[in-house]
């Protein structure tokens, strides 16, 4: 019996090793073509973020653009390879789950991914152009903007991550309610505190202007209400 358990453990570890190897190989293979596409993707994103503004981005060291493109390529590589990696991980985990657990996890992962993508697109197409215009509002005859490409790309990646994570609020509310950690009535009674909490977090994570803060607060709170709606009407599968 002990030998059988040891063999089973070794088999699981071997299977996990192959899953990790396949994921790393996918990332390594995908990085090369994605790196050559990255400059075009960055040009497109910069045009979207600048929203037609006459702004020239600058770099301040010979390797700065190369490093930024490499970092951006790594992010894009993970995004492109994510479906394949998720499938490999799922094939490793699924046999240990019951059918109802598999259905529940599938629905949560798909919903979470969709909300994250929506949050990122909302940030790229609405929030970042607004942030750029806010920065340009300080331009005078004696004060001219000199934007570094490193700062702009870092800001874009950070805010995209923030919006993607904040758009997970309906899933958080849904999970808390359906797992009976928090009752629906208790969560409803705390709406004011939830709104204030979201407002404070938005203020900390967004640039210091009320417009971008509200543009993160309002949809996030709306998604929280959606989570309450589904939390009281659906059961965990």
Q: What is the pLDDT of residue 237?
A: 38
Q: What is the pLDDT of residue 36?
A: 92
- Number of domains within the chain: 1
> Is residue 199 a part of any domain in this protein?
no
Q: What b-and-e string marks burial along 147-184, b requiring 16 or more CB atoms within 10 Å of the CB? A: bebbebbebbeebbbbbbebbbbbbebbbbbbeeeeee
Per-residue tens of pLDDT for the chain, all 237 residues = 445 445 577 777 888 888 899 989 999 999 999 999 998 888 888 877 776 566 777 888 888 888 888 988 998 888 888 888 888 888 888 777 777 777 777 777 777 888 888 888 888 888 888 778 777 777 787 887 788 888 888 888 888 888 888 888 777 777 777 766 677 777 778 788 888 888 888 777 776 667 777 877 888 888 888 777 776 665 443
- Classify residue 99 as exposed, middle or buried by CB count within 10 Å of its CB (0-12, 13-18, 19+): exposed
Q: What is the pLDDT of residue 51?
A: 63
Q: Which domain holds residue 6?
A: 2-167
> Is residue 196 a part of any domain in this protein?
no
Predicted TM-score (pTM) of the model is 0.72
> Is residue 25 a part of any domain in this protein?
yes
Can you tell me the distance from the alpha carbon of 216 to that of 119, in angstroms, rounded to the nearest whole number? Answer: 9
Q: What is the pLDDT of residue 25?
A: 93
Q: What is the pLDDT of residue 123?
A: 84
> Is residue 24 a part of any domain in this protein?
yes
Can you tell me the distance from the alpha carbon of 169 to that of 178, in angstroms, rounded to the nearest whole number? Answer: 14
Phi-psi label, residue 183: left if phi above 0, alpha if psi -120 to 50, beta otherwise:
beta
> Is residue 160 a part of any domain in this protein?
yes
> Is residue 180 a part of any domain in this protein?
no
> Is residue 104 a part of any domain in this protein?
yes
> Is residue 210 a part of any domain in this protein?
no
For the CA atoms of 216, 221, 227, 230, what is the dihedral angle to 10 degrees? -120
CA distances from 207 to 22, 58, 138, 228 (A): 40, 21, 14, 29
Q: What is the length of the chain? A: 237
């Amino acid at each position: 019996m002990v030998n059988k358990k040891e063999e089973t453990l070794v088999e699981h570890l071997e299977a996990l090793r192959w899953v990790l190897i396949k994921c790393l190989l996918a990332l390594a293979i995908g990085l090369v073509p994605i790196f050559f596409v990255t400059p075009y993707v960055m040009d497109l994103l910069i045009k979207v973020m600048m929203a037609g503004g006459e702004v020239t981005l600058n770099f301040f060291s010979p390797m700065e653009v190369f490093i930024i493109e490499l970092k951006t390529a790594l992010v894009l590589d993970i995004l492109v390879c994510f479906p394949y990696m998720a499938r490999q991980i799922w094939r490793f985990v699924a046999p240990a789950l019951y059918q109802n657990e598999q259905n529940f996890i599938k629905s949560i992962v798909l919903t979470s991914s969709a909300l994250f993508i929506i949050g990122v697109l909302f940030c790229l197409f609405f929030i970042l152009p607004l942030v750029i215009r806010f920065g340009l509002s300080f331009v005078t005859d004696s004060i001219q903007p000199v934007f570094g490409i490193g700062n702009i790309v870092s800001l874009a990646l950070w805010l995209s991550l923030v919006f993607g994570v904040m758009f997970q609020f309906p899933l958080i509310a849904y999970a808390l309610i359906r797992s009976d950690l928090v009752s629906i009535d208790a969560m409803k009674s705390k709406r004011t505190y939830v709104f204030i909490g979201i407002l404070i977090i938005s203020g900390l994570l967004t640039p210091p202007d009320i417009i971008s803060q509200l543009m993160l607060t309002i949809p996030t709170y709306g998604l929280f209400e959606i989570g309450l709606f589904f939390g009281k009407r659906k059961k965990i599968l």
